[in-house]
Amino acid sequence: MQPLDGKRVLITGGTGSLGQLLVRRLLTGELGRPHKIIVFSRDEAKQHAMRVQYRERRVVTDEVIFKDSEAVLEFRIGDVRRFASVAGVLRHVDVVFNAAALKQVPTCEYVPYEAVLTNVGGPEHIVRAIEELSLPIETVVGVSTDKACKPVNVMGMTKALQERVLIQANLRCPGTRFICVRYGNVLASRGSVIPLFLDQIRNGGPVTITSPDMTRFLLSLNQAIDTIFAAVRDAGRGETYIPRVPTARVVDLAAVMIGDRPIRTVIIGTRPGEKLHEILVSEEECWRTVERGRHYAILPMLPELRDGHSVEAPLPREYSSADEVMDRGALATLLHQHQLALDEAEGLEPELLR
First to last CA, the chain: 44
Residues 6 or more apart whose CB falls under 8 angstroms from that of 218 comprise 184, 185, 187, 245, 246, 247, 248, 253, 334
Residue 237 lies in a domain: yes
- Tell me what pLDDT residue 61 has: 47
Residue 337 lies in a domain: yes
Lowest-confidence region among 32-46, 141-155, 246-260, 297-311: 297-311
Quick check: 195 and 252 in contact, CB under 8 A? no
Q: Which of 46, 67, 103, 147 is catalytic?
A: 147
- Tell me what pLDDT residue 65 has: 47
Structural domain count, the chain: 1
Residue 42 lies in a domain: no
Residue 267 lies in a domain: yes
- Residue 150 maps to which CATH number? 3.40.50.720
- Tell me what pLDDT residue 342 has: 52
Does the active-site annotation cover 147?
yes
Query: pTM of this prediction?
Result: 0.88
Task: For residue 57, name the pLDDT band (cuts at 50, 70, 90).
Answer: low
* Mean pLDDT in residue range 120-134: 98
Share the mean pLDDT of the chain.
Answer: 89
Residues 6 or more apart whose CB falls under 8 angstroms from that of 206 comprise 200, 263, 264, 265, 266
In DSSP terms, 179 is beta-bridged to 141
Q: What is the pLDDT of residues 217-242, one digit of tens each?
A: 988 889 999 999 999 999 999 999 99
Q: Please state, in angstroms and rounded to a whole number, the distance separating the CA atoms of residues 199 and 197.
A: 5
Give 259's DSSP letter. Answer: T
- Tell me what pLDDT residue 154 has: 96
Q: What is the pLDDT of residues 323-354, one digit of tens each?
A: 989 999 999 988 887 765 555 544 444 443 44
User: β-pairing, 8-12 with 289-292?
Assistant: unpaired
Q: What is the pLDDT of residues 146-185, one digit of tens each?
A: 999 999 999 999 999 999 999 999 999 999 999 999 998 7
Residue 309 lies in a domain: yes
Q: Which domain holds residue 114?
A: 78-352
